Amino acid sequence: MSAAPSRPEPFAPRASSAELSDLRTRLHATRWPDAPEDAGWSLGTDLSFLRELVAYWADGFNWPAQEARLARLPRFRVGLRGLGIHFVHARAVAPAGPVLPLLLGHGWPDSFWRYTKVIPLLADPGAHGADPADAFDVVVPDMPGYGYSDRPRGAPLDSIAVAGLWAELMSVLGYDRFGAAGGDIGSHVSRYLGLDHPDRVVAVHRTDAGVPIHTGDPADLTPEERAWLADGAAWAVAEGAYAAMHRSKPQTAAFGLTDSPAGLAAWIVEKLRAWSDCDGEVERRFTHDEILTNVMIYWLTGTIGSSMRMYRANSLIPLAQHARRVEVPSGFALFPRDLLRPPRAWLERTANVVRVTEPPRGGHFAAFEEPELYAAELREFFRPYRAAGAVGAVAAAD
């Protein structure tokens, strides 16, 4: 990837024919593992599903068409602290009132891809049956080591460092104050934006409260909070092997996942299925094209290893940081099929809660699974904070 500019410049990557030819060769040469009869998804990614997905990837999937679709988003790159940062910057269309800048934070295993469906709904609500007064200037960056942002050359950045980087990005774009929202690691980053930059962030919206970490006496917790902590521990045993690998030995897994496109797809698609509101049938939420677009971003940028290493960085964050309370107005949308849904008492213990909703559908990838519900949630939550956050933006990324 070319050196990052000091000011935002338009960015529209194109995969070369050599990259696509190499990928197709690798897909055709996949060496398949065996699987117990009728194992299905019980031991991880289903063999028959992945065979079908890989066959389509090799001979039916049209990456140039998906690349052109992604290029319709206003995408840029800029240099920050020695790293090239890729981001979408979609300005409000025909706003009918104050425009609030809104930064959206993604998680793993994704990138700006998580928000591709919701960006138009937020930047141009009038074109989607909503009030034009709710238009946002939407900023969606790829975290360092994810997507089209550079990989840190040394130690991976943790969520605290990324929050600081995003505050700097918003300054570069001319935004003094803004809203922050996110899920998964993006929720973690949004939390630290509220904690460390309260003069900049008007409000924080999150779709989860992260992995439960309590540093005090469990007796001080409500029964619901103690049950939630126990649920978190049980989930870690049953479903958390991937995170243990990411925290402890990410480089070992990175060799195979960087070399094998089928292996990379298996690692990602199992999470798309397990964490979404799909009743065990991933096709109910994600088409083959949608799955493969997410996977292709990882494949072409070679970022699966660097994305996993962020888990290690976050595991080293001092416990005292987890005990801090967010005083910036905070809202939560707890989608029914997300991983761990915290009780209200925990939310109020850890944040200045002004709104909690429980949408009727959706899972961990709510912005992609239910873009209309997610967009409506953000419009309603941030509406009272528009005047406080509305500012002009420089034309650096026009």
What are the residue numbers of the active site?
Answer: 184, 311, 364
CB atoms within 10 A of CB 140: 29
* Nearest Cα to Cα of residue 147 among 190, 87, 65, 210: 87
Q: Backbone phi, then psi, for 41, in 5-degree steps?
A: -100, 5
Nearest Cα neighbor of 241 from 264, 214, 204, 271 is 271
For the four alpha carbons of 124, 125, 127 and 132, in that order, the dihedral sign comes to: negative
Q: Which tokens belong to 31?
A: 């060496």
Over the Cα atoms of the chain, what is R_g? 20
Cα separation, 220 vs 315, in Å, equals 24
Sign of the dihedral defined by the CA atoms of residues 204, 326, 112, 282, in that order:
negative
Q: How far apart are CA 292 and CA 277, in angstroms?
A: 19
Q: How many residues does the chain have?
A: 398
Residue 330 phi, psi (nearest 5): -125, 140
Q: How far apart are CA 288 and CA 24, in angstroms?
A: 16
Query: Using CB atoms within 10 A of its CB, is residue 117 exposed (0-12), middle (13-18) or buried (19+)?
Result: middle
Q: Which residues pair with 182 in a beta bridge?
A: 105, 206
Q: Residues 133, 39: contact at Cβ < 8 Å?
A: no
